Structure 1
Amino acid sequence: MMLKKLSVDLGKRSYPIFIADGALTTPSLWQDCLVKRGKVVIVTNETVQKWYLEPLQSSLKSIGVEALSCILPDGEQYKDLKHFNDILTFLLENSAGRDSTVFALGGGVIGDMTGFAAACYQRGIDFIQVPTTLLSYVDSSVGGKTAVNHPLGKNMIGAFYQPKAVIIDLNTLKTLPEREIAAGMAEVIKYGIIWDRDFFSYLEDNSEKVWAHDLDVLSDVVYRCCEIKAEVVHQDETEGGLRAILNLGHTFGHAIETFMGYGVWLHGEAVAAGMVMASRLALGRGYISEEVFERIRALIARNRLPVSRPDSMPGEAFLQLMIHDKKNRNGHINYIVPDELGRVSLRCDVTEEEALAAVS
């Protein structure tokens, strides 16, 4: 088994990230990460359950842990207060205590909701992220952002709450639909734009090997993404400054998700189109060259992602929805835009005319 490890450095709340092929069936990993020995509950969805619930339960059973399972429906449209409450009800009905641990087995929706439930239940119990999608490997499982959606905005209700560990089994990508891999590649590409131009070039040369499940390339890509995010979170855990750069494409993307209805466009698809829009905004202001813009757009398109807004979504809808984004300050819409490959900045002086041109 190939195994890589890194840490998110947050003092007493630091935690490890394990990246391996076959992690789900390696009991020693769970032995090391399961600090408390109260009740264990695995929260997952109906799709992931079919593939990965039994292997995780078997690994836990081999170290003497019987894990209950809370099964939710699959889809972004279920990331809401109703299904969040279903997790809490399950914990209450099964008499989970403060010494309990909750596992989030699934993609970003499961990770976000489970983490938020762990943060709220009895004022906080342990949880472990077990991401099963590329997007959740490299983004949502790391950093402690937890939330549910509201009809008026995405991720508007939540908390910063760090897991005790993140355990990534690269083999789960083998059962992931092509569309979900593409959605994950949007977040992978983001790291090259915001932080590491050499990584962006590496993706230009090697992203097809991720699609082919080349374990060497895949493990390197996931490790580098987690490494970048861990460094950003270490410097700015609660998004007071630097961490905002992780939102490249998200202001536009969240507007798309809200307008279309949660789950119609996958999060990564919306972010991909949003990154093209942010790059077009940067191009219009002269921050990046036409060549850089085309490299960004081409890499996104080559990874089977949208590079323009939904046909049914008018430009004015972006302005109406983006004003409600949680990242805004003092009534201004905050835009993260590239200044060059590997570096971005926050701009809050963008005019409506510029924003409309960016989404055109």
Structure 2
Amino acid sequence: MTKVQINTGFSYSVLIEKGLFQKIGPLLKNEIKGKALVLTDERVGNLYADLILKQLKESEIQGDIYRVKEGEDSKSLCVYGEILEYMAANNYHRNDTLISLGGGVIGDLGGFVAATFQRGMEYIQMPTSLLAAVDSSVGGKTALNLREGKNLVGAFKQPLAVYCDPEVFKSMERERFADGVAESIKYGILFDRDLFNLFKSPLTKEDERLEELVEKAVKHKAEVVARDEFEKDERKLLNLGHTIGHSIERASGFKITHGHAVAIGMAVMAKACSKRQILKETERDEILEVLKKNDLPTDTSFSVEVLFEHIYKDKKSDGKNITIVEIEEIGKCRLKKIPLLSFKEYIEEGIDDCRDCS
């Protein structure tokens, strides 16, 4: 079993091991003091809910399941309110624990429920997607979407623990698995040329490297979060590709999934940085090639105007300025605060160049 310590205001561990969910009971018993509510979606619930309930029962923990529909639509105020009403009606209290069993949507939703129910209760992250394992389950960001944009309501709430079983990635759809690959490639572009190079051989759901890759990505995030828990400065680097990515998700009505949209966002920034002579053309081409090798897109059919309309409402913008992530080289990026309208030029350059080189 691999252990990564997350040293925030509240420190906790990320445990990574294939087959971990099959023996999770003693770990849950060690953390949970009252009842447990397992929040999951319909697909993941059908696969793993009975297993987790069995583990809870064997550990003498009273447990129940709450299922929501799969997808971004469940990160809404309406669904959030329904969960709170269910918990209140079924006598859950602050000393009970919520378990987020699922991907990024469930982790974000469950974390926000935990941050706000009775002014805060404990929760545990059990990511079942590669994306959630390497990114959203670690670091304490929780969020809901509004009609006007993604993740516009949220709070910072660190979990009691994160339990990751890479074995469950085998049940993922290929497209959803690729979402997590995109987020993993992001860490290579940001911090680690060696990690990036691992993706030159495409990652698969059965890959023996999965446990190692999750560990490397989580360690990089842990280091950043320890220095900047509340995203005042350095943690903004983790938004590489996300500003453009979120706008693509919104423009598509979330038909384009998060990781695919982020991949496009990273490609656009790589091209724009290359055009501005910040990033070498050879490294730009490496980034595009690695994304394509891992079945990820590098271009969008949406116009600059459509994307910029959504970017204007992005939470990383203050209405006049926006902090962007420029790629200097693979393994090294930097933050830059620029006027919002100047970012439109980056998008124009990146989209035009992506089409030229696709």
TM-score grouping bracket, smaller chain normalisation: over 0.9
Match of 1:213 in 2: 206
In structure 2, what is the Cα distance between the partners aligned to 1:168 and 1:179? Answer: 20
Match of 1:15 in 2: 12
- 1:32 Cα deviation after fit: 2.9
- On the 8 A contact 2:96/2:122 being kept in 1, the answer is yes
Q: What secondary structure sits across from 2:321 in the alignment?
A: coil
Match of 2:356 in 1: none
* Number of residue equivalences: 348
Encode CA deviations 1:112-169: one digit per residue, 9 max, x unaligned.
0000010000000000000000000000000000001111111010001110000001
Distance 1:65 1:258, change over 3 A: same
Give, as a single letter, the amino acid of the residue that structure 1 aligns with 2:163.
Answer: I
Aligned ranges 1:16-55 → 2 under 5 Å? 16-26=13-23, 27-34=25-32, 37-55=33-51
Q: What secondary structure sits across from 2:95 in the alignment?
A: coil
Match of 1:314 in 2: 303
In structure 1, what is the Cα distance between the partners aligned to 2:99 and 2:4? Answer: 20
* Superposition TM-score, scaled by structure 2 size: 0.94
- On the 8 A contact 1:4/1:18 being kept in 2, the answer is yes
Match of 1:325 in 2: 314
* Superposition TM-score, scaled by structure 1 size: 0.94
- 1:184 Cα deviation after fit: 0.5
Match of 1:260 in 2: 252
> Which sections of structure 1, spanning at least 5 residues, go unmatched?
none
Give, as a single letter, the amino acid of the residue that structure 1 aligns with 2:16.
Answer: I
* Residue 93 in structure 1 maps to residue 84 in structure 2: no
In structure 2, what is the Cα distance between the partners aligned to 1:267 and 1:169? Answer: 21
- 1:325 Cα deviation after fit: 1.2
* Residue 282 in structure 1 maps to residue 273 in structure 2: yes
In structure 2, what is the Cα distance between the partners aligned to 1:257 and 1:212? Answer: 24
Match of 2:161 in 1: 165
Q: What secondary structure sits across from 1:333 in the alignment?
A: strand
- On the 8 A contact 2:323/2:336 being kept in 1, the answer is yes
Match of 2:355 in 1: none
- 1:330 Cα deviation after fit: 6.0
In structure 2, what is the Cα distance between the partners aligned to 1:108 and 1:176? Answer: 13
C-alpha RMSD of matched pairs (Å):
1.3
Give, as a single letter, the amino acid of the residue that structure 1 aligns with 2:292.
Answer: A
* Residue 241 in structure 1 maps to residue 233 in structure 2: yes
Distance 1:316 1:18, change over 3 A: same
Q: What secondary structure sits across from 1:244 in the alignment?
A: helix
Q: What secondary structure sits across from 1:334 in the alignment?
A: strand
- 1:22 Cα deviation after fit: 1.3
* Residue 297 in structure 1 maps to residue 288 in structure 2: yes
In structure 2, what is the Cα distance between the partners aligned to 1:193 and 1:63? Answer: 42
- On the 8 A contact 1:322/1:333 being kept in 2, the answer is no
- 1:199 Cα deviation after fit: 1.1
- On the 8 A contact 1:87/1:114 being kept in 2, the answer is no
Encode CA deviations 1:3-37: one digit per residue, 9 max, x unaligned.
111110124x1001010111112122223332xx2
> Which sections of structure 2, spanning at least 5 residues, go unmatched?
353-358
Q: What secondary structure sits across from 1:348 in the alignment?
A: strand
Give, as a single letter, the amino acid of the residue that structure 2 aligns with 1:324.
Answer: K
Encode CA deviations 1:186-228: one digit per residue, 9 max, x unaligned.
00000000011121112224xx3x405233x111000000111
Q: What secondary structure sits across from 1:97 in the alignment?
A: coil
In structure 2, what is the Cα distance between the partners aligned to 1:73 and 1:352? Answer: 35
Give, as a single letter, the amino acid of the residue that structure 2 aligns with 1:300.
Answer: L
- 1:336 counterpart (321, 325, 330): 325
Q: What secondary structure sits across from 2:94 in the alignment?
A: coil
In structure 2, what is the Cα distance between the partners aligned to 1:204 and 1:47? Answer: 31
Encode CA deviations 1:158-185: one digit per residue, 9 max, x unaligned.
0011100000011111110100111110
Give, as a single letter, the amino acid of the residue that structure 2 aligns with 1:162.
Answer: Q
Encode CA deviations 1:41-73: one digit per residue, 9 max, x unaligned.
000010001110011111111110121111101
Give, as a single letter, the amino acid of the residue that structure 2 aligns with 1:317.
Answer: V
Encode CA deviations 1:296-347: one digit per residue, 9 max, x unaligned.
01111111111101x2x21111222112111124611322121111111122
- On the 8 A contact 1:251/1:325 being kept in 2, the answer is yes
Aligned ranges 1:190-229 → 2 under 5 Å? 190-205=186-201, 208=202, 210-215=203-208, 217-229=209-221
